[in-house]
Amino acid sequence: MTVRPPSAPDSEPLLSQRAAVVLLTAAFLGTIVGVLTFFSTGNTAGALLAAVAATGASVPGLHKLIA
């Protein structure tokens, strides 16, 4: 029985470094907005909604800002 060696991994990463920085920064900003909203209102659902909205809204801006 012949065992084949594992194939070489792709040399290309799944995400570029720029995309990773944009997404991580957007997630950080969304977390900050969510925490501040929770402290302000005490409403978990509203804070989660604000965090998701802030994350989504910041991605296009960061995409243009980080070149």
Burial status of residue 25 (CB atoms within 10 A of its CB: 0-12, 13-18, 19 or more): middle
Q: Does the pLDDT of residue 7 top 80, yes or no?
A: no
**Alpha-carbon distance values, 63 to 25, 33, 59 (Å):** 10, 19, 6
* Sign of the dihedral through C-alpha 9, 10, 14, 18: positive
Dump pLDDT digits (tens) for 17-48.
Answer: 999 999 999 999 999 999 999 999 999 999 99
Q: What is the pLDDT of residue 12?
A: 85
